Structure 1
Amino acid sequence: MNRRLVTILLAAFVVAALCSVLVYRLVGMRIAAAKPQPSTRVVAAATDIKIGTVLSAPDLTTIQIMGTPPKSAILDAKNAIGRGVTSNLYAGEAILDDRLAPMGSGGGLAATIKDGMRAIAVRVDQVVGVAGFVLPGMRVDVLVSGVPPNATGGGGSNNTQVRTILQNIEVLSAGTDIQKDAEGKPQQVQVVNLLVTPEQAQILALASNETRIQLVLRNPLDTKMAPVQGTAMTNLFLDQNAPVSKPKVASRPAPKAKAPDTFTVTVINGNTKTEDKFAAPGGKQ
């Protein structure tokens, strides 16, 4: 057989084999795409739902999830109705069991409090509340400023001190509340609810009555407790760059040389009288 003809036949065979493999893969992908994937219908939020809301039937809908649904996904709406929302939900978002309060615990802020913790309201203003940027889920440090009861020199502003009393405290909620002023008139005030332990709640309650509270926003990933020392008002006016003056030592005057002890010899020669002075041996006359 002609060698040229054999080469052409082999080349045609290789091309045909490659085309067959390509067609096989394309057909397999089409078949796999046409094959229905398993899906699950789960309960989802019908609208945006705020934290603390008790779910009812109009708040819920269902969505289809392709593949394996999340472990804590709720499949039946009965398991969600009547439970409080512990974090904000958005329309179309699948509702997970760990985003809801236990059955029977109700709604509101109380449903978001963890076991063994307490929620305490702190009255703040726009400046104290970090200019309105304190939002639920953020972490803050709590500073207090005031005059210590044992301060010397009275309760003047010069004795004001500031200290960090709590660190890495979680914010449960932040908003406005209606309270009455000294004249009994209603007024809006900024209130921040903090998640604290019972011991920390006592500290905050005492600080709210006797001192001024300041919230300091911190990075939620920064959980280190910094050893912060208190600062007094007088420390703000110290010149940190001033050279340290050395105390002056009074110089003592040099002792005067003591004149050596002498004795006098008087010589009388007729009418002539002379006196001669001589040093006494050993300083004695």
Structure 2
Amino acid sequence: MTPVEDSAPRKGGGNTRRNLLLLLLSLVIGGGGAWLAKGFIEKKVNYYRAQLEKTQPMVQVVVPVRDMRRGEIVTEQDLALREVPAEFAHVGAVRNENYQIAVGQRLSFDIAKGRPLLWAHLEGGLSPTFSGMLSEGMRALTVPVDEVNSISGFLQPGDNIDLFMNYQKAVFPVVQNLHILATGTRTVRDKTGQVTGTYQTITVEVAPEVAKKITLARSVGSITATLRNPQDAGPIDSNPYTVAQLLNKPPVVKKKRRILPKKKGIQYIIGGI
């Protein structure tokens, strides 16, 4: 007998295809659900973040724009402002309204770029000592001034000046480009934007040798200060200025005394043959 082939479909192959389709469909549905859930969560997070930023007060704190090491002097160029929620701002952080007190101070600790600058990082803190304003190796010298020498009271802490000495009808340059630390008791950190003329002294930052020079000049003549543009670093004429130059007269040349040679006299020979 010839065997007859069974033309009926096999149940096993159909089940496999159906299972694959169901698996693929479940993956598509699961992936789509995950994508939708991720988008929903992100949208909710952004919404609540925006609401939080709207309702929470922000404050500006000072941060360094570069890594700074212990012993460095803080300058305005080293600092920037960053907004942070007031709730999370450090109580000892330097703020926008008082950062100028920090400028010119020396760091007591290293501080990383972008980290809030704290008063504890600074040698003088919020109430710095006057000596903390001095650069290494420099001295503070107080010089008395009057209305003329104080430029009618317009000299301010942070200005630069040249000093001249008036002595025996001539003017001699003493020292140039001195930095004023204080006028009276008002220091470079007391920047209120107001100019006051009620002071009788100015305090300048000088090297020890320059301090000796100014002290000696004060003892032999009178001192005059001239205000210098902060961008002007050029040298001044070191030659003295005399009354003859003021009156456009040729300088008086002192005649040298002529010393006549001694006449030869008679030579005496003491002794005998």
TM value normalised by structure 2: 0.46
The structure carrying a bigger strand percent of its residues is: 1
Q: Please tell me whether Structure 1 or Structure 2 has the larger radius of gyration of its CA atoms.
A: 1
TM value normalised by structure 1: 0.44
